[in-house]
Amino acid sequence: MKLFSTALVFSALLAAAPAFAQGKPAAAAAAATAGSITIAAPWSRATAPGAANGACFFVATNAGGEADRIVAASSPVAQKAELHTHRQEDGVMKMRQVEAIDVKPGEPATLRPGGLHVMLMGLKEPLKQGATFPVTLTFAKAGPVTVEVTVQEAGAMAPGGMAHGQPMPHQMPGGHAPGGHAPMGQHQPQNPPMKH
Ligand SMILES: [Cu+2]
């Protein structure tokens, strides 16, 4: 399975060179591990100047024997980070905060546009394509793990190098097409344009 082999390659690279290449435009997203948890291909999308919010995505796999879950997130680029999903409500796809994101053995959690994501709320500056920034994910059991997120172009649907041939499983009922990320201002009272 492609995602697993990618994660393994990234783990091997990290083991050989534990230092993150911070502040350098990264062609390929880095991965990070905490215990039996691997976070592969963390990525985000460039945001327009003045955009209030961004989002980040990744694939979390669990090579251990016990279920774990992401219970919190934070990043220095945003005032706060929340765990979100999209839900179909009254025929409209809306973002909703979730308490946790399960990462169970054999069931990778795939965060992607139109589905689960880490919402970066109150961006301190725009996310620029090619830049990287840290996001810390806190697991209930594995504890905190910081990943270096690579910013892809605005509207990107996948991390760089994985856009072609990557299956995009439908987790949402109601015919939400990949790429059909409807404008969503529901949880933004001040109503700036939503760019993720
Ligand atoms: Cu959101």
Ligand 1 centroid–CA 181 distance in Å is 11
Distance 12 CA to ligand 1 centre (A): 32
Pair 175, 86: CB distance under 8 Å: no
What's the 17 CA to ligand 1 centre distance in angstroms?
Answer: 33
pLDDT in tens, 47-74: 999 999 999 999 999 999 999 999 999 9
CA dist 139 and 73 (Å) reads 9
Q: Which residue has the tokens 């992401």?
A: 70
Domains and CATH numbers, the chain: 2-152 (2.60.40.1890)
Residue spans of the chain under pLDDT 70: 1-30, 161-196
- Check residue 174 and give its pLDDT: 41
CA of 174 to the centre of ligand 1 (A): 19
Report the amino acid identity of residue 159: P
